[in-house]
Structure 1
Amino acid sequence: MAETKTNAMRILDRAKIKYEVHTYPHNEGEAVDGENVARLTGQDPIKVYKTLVTRGASNPSRNFYVFVIPVMKELDLKKAAKAVGEKSVEMIHVKEINGITGYIRGGCSPIGMKKQFPTVFYKDVSALDTVIFSGGKIGLQIEAAPSDIIGLIGAETEDICF
């Protein structure tokens, strides 16, 4: 178990959602790509998801959207925009991640951001018993039932990948 609880873990605890923590080695402050996270934690990459934050064209300073997709896939920005009712969406800049979410690159969790933004998981998550995603800091992953996470944050599932 992790020495200190992250905000994401505290939120899961408060909601009484069962989860498992996975840790992996990393250099301090250095993000590890999702494929290597799966390898380092000994997990099937199909279950390991990454959290991406975008801004919508309709109001770029206020409309942020979160997409949670398998580490082996790429976000299709056109499908993503359609899923959230935007004309288009674009990835936020790395330097903006902390200010918008409260997290850092490589440690961005769909749970416990400064504000709960509309969140969409890739549709295949529903077929999984558990999904693994960032626990809110580099080196820490959380594994939980997708239905629990989706219900907790009011997320949707859509076909948003290539």
Structure 2
Amino acid sequence: MTYVARPYSHDPSSSSYGLEAAEALGVEPARVFKTLVIDVGGEGSAKLCVAVVPVSGSLDLKAAAAAFGAKKAAMADRAAAERRTGYVLGGISPLGQRQPSPTAIDESALEHESILVSGGRRGFDIELSPADLVRLTHASVARLRST
């Protein structure tokens, strides 16, 4: 596996960490992916999963639920996401999480030779092949973004 560390100067006032990364690194937003923690557990029982989608789009919660074999999905509580992953919001990486979760990656990742994901803190991305990300996270690949 090969990867490239891609640090950049993070602006704390930025409202979109992923789009900030794309601009700072000179990469098209379709190649920069955000890591979102979702809850597919339903009524009263949390089951956290990870959805990795391009920053140029939005997560389709219904599609994400289907990818994990659930009836519905919701964004996980911020504190629960940070506790589960060991990362702060805006710096959550699909790699090296404190407690790994079932992961799905949007199929559009496979259209690129390499993609960028958070390296575990704001201002630091990792560029790697989508196949390596799938292998390292034991992820499934599905359509997760809204059209």
1:116 aligns with 2:100: yes
| Structure 2, unpaired ranges of 5+ | none
The two structures have a TM-score, normalised by structure 1, of: 0.83
Look up the match of 1:36.
20
RMSD (CA atoms): 1.9
Give the alignment partner of residue 141 of structure 1, picking from 125, 131, 141: 125
SS in 2 for 1:136: strand
More displaced stretch, 89-98 vs 63-72: 89-98
Look up the match of 2:39.
55
1:122 Cα deviation from its structure 2 partner: 0.6
Look up the match of 1:151.
135
1:66 Cα deviation from its structure 2 partner: 0.3
One-letter amino acid of the structure 2 residue matched with residue 23 of structure 1: P
Instruction: Report the identity percentage.
Output: 32
Sort the Cα spacing of 1:112 and 1:30 in 2 relative to 1 into closer, same or farther, 3 A. Answer: farther
Matched residues, number: 146
SS in 2 for 1:97: helix
Sort the Cα spacing of 1:41 and 1:60 in 2 relative to 1 into closer, same or farther, 3 A. Answer: farther
Q: Tell me how far apart the structure 1 counterparts of residues 75 and 120 of structure 2 sit (CA, whole Å).
A: 19
Q: Tell me how far apart the structure 2 counterparts of residues 66 and 152 of structure 1 sit (CA, whole Å).
A: 13
1:57 Cα deviation from its structure 2 partner: 2.9
The two structures have a TM-score, normalised by structure 2, of: 0.91
Q: Are the aligned partners of 2:41 and 2:48 in contact in 1 as well (CA < 8 Å)?
A: no
SS in 2 for 1:135: strand
Q: Tell me how far apart the structure 2 counterparts of residues 60 and 145 of structure 1 sit (CA, whole Å).
A: 37
Q: Are the aligned partners of 2:17 and 2:122 in contact in 1 as well (CA < 8 Å)?
A: no
One-letter amino acid of the structure 1 residue matched with residue 78 of structure 2: V
Q: Are the aligned partners of 1:38 and 1:45 in contact in 2 as well (CA < 8 Å)?
A: yes
Look up the match of 1:76.
60
1:99 Cα deviation from its structure 2 partner: 1.1
Look up the match of 1:89.
73
Q: Tell me how far apart the structure 1 counterparts of residues 78 and 14 of structure 2 sit (CA, whole Å).
A: 13
| Structure 1, unpaired ranges of 5+ | 1-16
Look up the match of 2:7.
23
Q: Tell me how far apart the structure 2 counterparts of residues 96 and 140 of structure 1 sit (CA, whole Å).
A: 22
Q: Tell me how far apart the structure 2 counterparts of residues 129 and 151 of structure 1 sit (CA, whole Å).
A: 15
